[in-house]
Amino acid sequence: MSRHWSDEELIDHLYGIGRGDQHLEQCEECRARWLRVRERRDMILRQSPEIPEELMVAQRAAIQHRVAGGGHGWSLPLTPALAALAVVVLALVLSRPAPAPEPTLASTDGEFFTEIYAMVESPEPLAAEPINGLFED
């Protein structure tokens, strides 16, 4: 005698996809479980509510309407094209050349070195410069 059938094997057999051996005829325990499974299924099928035919027809019509494209769902056939356009625009924006550097305030080398020397020799820390800029006219 082989091993007992599992619940999954009994359910598979119930739907006709289980093993085809003669185990249920040979094993009393599995046959009793098999009968309980069949009785439970029959009881559930008897208790299932009756669905009105009008409801089924209306549901089928609604499904066919949505499949045909008349539904309220958001569908846009141009979505891939819009996504590609967004990528191209983003690439153009990000590939712009950098702005030209601003010229220094000093117009000659002498003025340039004078400004640098004044910054180096100043007793005031560089961090205070933005604060002083708030009080200038």
pLDDT tens string 62-112: 999 888 876 555 556 778 888 999 999 999 888 888 888 776 565 778 888
All structural domains of the chain with their residue ranges: 7-53
Give the mean model confidence (pLDDT) for residues 34-41. 92
Q: Give rounded-to-5 percent helix, strand, coil for the chain.
A: 65, 0, 35
Q: Does position 126 have pLDDT exceeding 90, yes or no? A: no
Buried b (16+ CB within 10 A) or exposed e, 105-137: eeeeeeeeeeeeeeeeeeeeeeeeeeeeeeeee
pTM of the predicted model, to two decimals?
A: 0.37
Closest C-alpha among 2, 15, 10 to residue 31 = 10
